[in-house]
Amino acid sequence: MKELEKYVGECFSIDFEHKQNRFQIFTIPTQHFYVESLSELTPERFDLEIKKQKKCTEQTRKNLFKAMELWHEKYKDE
């Protein structure tokens, strides 16, 4: 578990979802992700989840920027 300390940081939670028979993991860099077994919590898995979250965040930024451009274009003369 020592090798996971750098991924956990100050905010870390694990919740077991009985209906889905899985664990919900939360850290700030990963946000929420799911595993069926705690043995899946490896440095490689955290790296993968961090990459996924960064990609999602970047896409959200691009979408918001585009939406603001469209809004500005539509209402610039009002």
User: Would you state the pLDDT for residue 47?
Assistant: 95
Position of tokens 């077991």? 16
Question: Which residue has better confidence, 36 or 8?
Answer: 36
Give pLDDT tens digits for 12-22: 899 999 999 99
What residue type is 7 in one-letter code? Y
Whole-angstrom distance, CA of residue 24 vs CA of residue 36 = 9
Provide mean pLDDT across the span 47-59. Answer: 96
- The token pair that represents 2 in the structure block: 């020592």
What pLDDT was estimated at residue 62?
96
